[in-house]
Amino acid sequence: MTDPTAGGSADVVVVGAGPAGSAAAWALATAGLDAVVLEKARFPREKVCGDGLTPRAVRALDEMGVDVSPAAGWVRHRGLRVFGGGQVVEVDWPTLDSWPSYGLIRARRDLDPLLAEHAVAAGARLEQEVTVTGPLLDDAGRVAGVHAQAGPGKEPVTWRAPLVVSAEGLSGRLAKAIGLTRREDRPLGVAVRRYVETPRGEDPWLDISFDLSAEGPTADAMPGYGWSFGMGDGTANVGFGLLDTRRGGDADPRTVLRRWLASLPPEWQLGEEHAVTPLRGAGLPMALNRGPAYTRGLLLAGDTAGVVNPFNGEGISYALETGRMAGETAAAALAAPEGPAREAVLRRYPQRLREEYGRHHRLGTAFLALLDRPGLVRFATAHGLKRPGMVAAALRLMGNLSDGRDGDRFDRLVAVLTRLTPSV
């Protein structure tokens, strides 16, 4: 292991060892490049997350060669159990050609070091307890590395590289330092969660609830939902996500969560008295709300680029995908001659993100506007949840799970709708 207080150089510096950073480092190392990942904490460490991985994330992990078998510690789940309008329906993940038919559960405390180790096994370097404080700029104002503080003594260090990938999460310190601020016209959600001991900890379904009070959806809880995801070890990840906070107001996610839990059957044991961890919160940056995702030697991936799905608050899938895209783009760029040819490769990265997600995220922001009307949500869930086929179709749309024009009638309809929708 190298001395993190010494600094150094690499082909690419990756900042942050979450799913996006580790996926980027894995892609770079697989391409034969020297990638160093700088992580401010030391594993294991907590990250606020729902811990539920959809089939989209399962495919991303499989393509990276990660062993997601139960023998490797992964818990599989078969679909969603949705509560709304006084109705309850259980819906399996869809059976499609392009996606696995199951999801996974893995606590971020375990997931993140596992993915970092996977990147290291591919040849990347991991430096922990290194807090990046700002970009290192060359005479032309281009990012040429990072300034950081390393080790318990917070020694100042410098890491140099021709390209830097920022996978810092919502904070996006490097991006902000060069003028890439978050767009206020794009949705930003917030989520709170804790772990509880519960007899529902072995449940094969992920519980999603729009009925967040005894009366159903409420104005201070919309657009949002509560969740309870069994971790397979006698505990559950229980939380609430308010999917759009742009309008301000007095809505407090922690209060909404407590009121919802108080309305549930006591035998489920999901309340505060059964908590095994404190209640913690985190932001959910959505709809490509910071960009461009490449400029002046800096690529953005994961939450830093704002790629959380507005339909459902899902972030891990898109962190894995965009981290890998950023790594692949950096590798392709470094294989090109320095100068205009290299820049042309790098500038295609933001366009790739827009092509991949922009139209779906535009639909998601429109969906959020509908969810902001509690009466409409109450009516839609009361009647829609009586039709499992309709719920299954909605699950596919919200989860961005489709076989596209090669799929069934619904997939083809979604493909046409998406193609006609302008990108965010």
For the sheet with 130-137, list strands across it.
8-9, 155-160, 143-150, 130-137
- How would DSSP label each residue in 96-113? -SSS-S-EEE--HHHHHH
Q: 207 in a domain, yes or no?
A: no
Total of domains in the chain: 1
Look up the CATH number of the domain holding residue 175: 3.50.50.60
Position 157 in a domain: yes
Residue 205 lies in a domain: no
- Output the furthest CA–CA distance in the chain (Å, rounded): 65
The token duo for 343 is 């820049």
Q: Is 187 helix (H, G, I), strand (E, B) or coil?
A: coil
Cis preceding-peptide flag for 44 (omega within 30 of 0)? yes
N- to C-terminal Cα distance for the chain?
Answer: 43
pLDDT of residue 5: 62
In the chain, DSSP finds a helix count (H) and a strand count (E) of 11, 20
Predicted pLDDT of residue 249: 47
d(CA 283, CA 180): 18
Instruction: Work out the number of other CB atoms within 10 angstroms of the CB of residue 331.
Output: 22
Q: How many C-beta neighbours within 10 Å does residue 154 have?
A: 14
Query: Which residue bears the tokens 């290194």?
Result: 130
What pLDDT shows up at residue 246? 45
| CA–CA dist 59, 61 (Å, integer) | 5
Q: How far apart are CA 329 and CA 352, in angstroms?
A: 10
Structure tokens that stand for 188 in this block: 């930003």
Can you name the residues that pair with 206 across neighbouring β-strands?
A: 80, 229
- Measured distance CA(316)–CA(299) in Å, rounded: 18
What integer pLDDT is reported at residue 128 of this predicted model?
97
Q: Which domain does 17 fall in, by range?
A: 12-77+102-184+286-363
Render pLDDT for 7-27 as a digit per residue (tens, 0 to 9). Answer: 899 999 999 999 999 999 999
Q: Is residue 247 part of a domain?
A: no
State residue 136's pLDDT score: 98
Alpha-carbon distance of 120 to 17, in angstroms, equals: 11
The answer to whether position 180 is within a domain reads: yes
Query: Pick from 342, 359, 353: which is nearest to 307 by CA?
Result: 353
pLDDT of residue 346: 98
Measured between alpha carbons, how far is 86 from 247 in angstroms, rounded to an integer?
A: 28
pLDDT at 250: 52
In a domain, 262, yes or no: no
E strand residue ranges, 120-187: 125-128, 130-137, 143-150, 155-160, 163-166
CB burial of residue 420 (10 Å; 0-12, 13-18, 19+):
exposed
List of residues 6+ apart from 74 with CB closer than 8 A: 68, 104, 105, 106
**What is the number of other CB atoms lying within 10 angstroms of the CB of residue 282?**
18
Answer whether residue 88 is part of any domain. no
Is the whole model's pTM more than 0.85, yes or no? yes
In a domain, 383, yes or no: no
Which run of H or E residues covers position 396?
helix 388-398
Measure Cα distances from 197 to 77, 90, 333 in Å. Answer: 19, 23, 49
H or E element at residue 393: helix 388-398
Cα 228 from chain centre: 18
Ranges in the chain, pLDDT < 50: 1, 246-249
pLDDT tens digit sequence for 14-65: 999 999 999 999 999 999 999 999 999 999 999 999 999 999 999 999 999 9
CA dihedral sign of residues 205, 206, 210, 212: positive
